[in-house]
């Protein structure tokens, strides 16, 4: 009888330890799931940031390509493509840029766009001023 009672006591202790271990395992499972959820959220945020940085790099690469093309055109004599602007407004459908190149102090590169003109034949010395153009 004592042996049976000792065995039952050991079984009760083992059962109690098993329940405690199951509770700890469940707590750990919940904590793991919370960590996984936070990791997925952080991964999503990092992907958004990565995409944003990739778009910014693409935008800057395109801007650099345009500036290099403008500089090349300016150096080959087609200075029409280079503008100086402080408000970065769009003129004639092209983006304006700041260009400082190899200019001496007080010199500037700029472009003038005429929206319209009136030619007077008397001032030009011609009756038909369109031939002047």
Q: In this predicted model, what pLDDT tens digit does every residue of 56-79 receive, in sequence order?
A: 999 999 999 988 888 888 877 655
70 by Cβ neighbours in 10 Å (0-12 / 13-18 / 19+) ranks as buried
φ/ψ (deg, to 5) at 95: -75, 135
Rg (C-alpha) for the chain, rounded Å, is 39
Contact 81, 74 (CB under 8 A): yes
Top pLDDT among 101 and 72 is at 72
Highest averaged pLDDT of the listed ranges 69-78, 79-88, 98-107? 69-78
Q: What pLDDT is stored for residue 51 in this prediction?
A: 96
What confidence category does residue 95 fall into, taking pLDDT thresholds of 50, 70 and 90?
very low
Is residue 84 over pLDDT 90? Answer: no
Measured at the alpha carbon of residue 74, what is the angle toward residues 70 and 75, in degrees to the nearest 5? 120
φ/ψ (deg, to 5) at 91: -120, 130
- Lowest-confidence pick of 44-58, 69-83, 85-99: 85-99
Top pLDDT among 55 and 117 is at 55
């Amino acid at each position: 009888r004592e042996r049976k009672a000792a065995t039952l006591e050991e079984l009760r202790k083992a059962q109690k330890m098993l329940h405690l271990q199951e509770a700890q395992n469940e707590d750990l499972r919940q904590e793991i799931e919370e960590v996984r959820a936070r990791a997925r959220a952080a991964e999503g945020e990092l992907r958004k940031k990565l995409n944003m940085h990739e778009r910014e790099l693409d935008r800057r690469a395109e801007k650099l390509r345009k500036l290099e093309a403008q500089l090349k055109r300016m150096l080959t004599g087609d200075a029409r493509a280079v503008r100086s602007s402080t408000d970065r407004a769009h003129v004639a459908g092209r983006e304006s840029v700041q260009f400082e190149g190899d200019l001496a102090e007080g010199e500037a590169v700029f472009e003038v766009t005429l929206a319209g003109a009136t030619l007077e034949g008397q001032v030009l010395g011609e009756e038909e001023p369109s031939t002047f153009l």
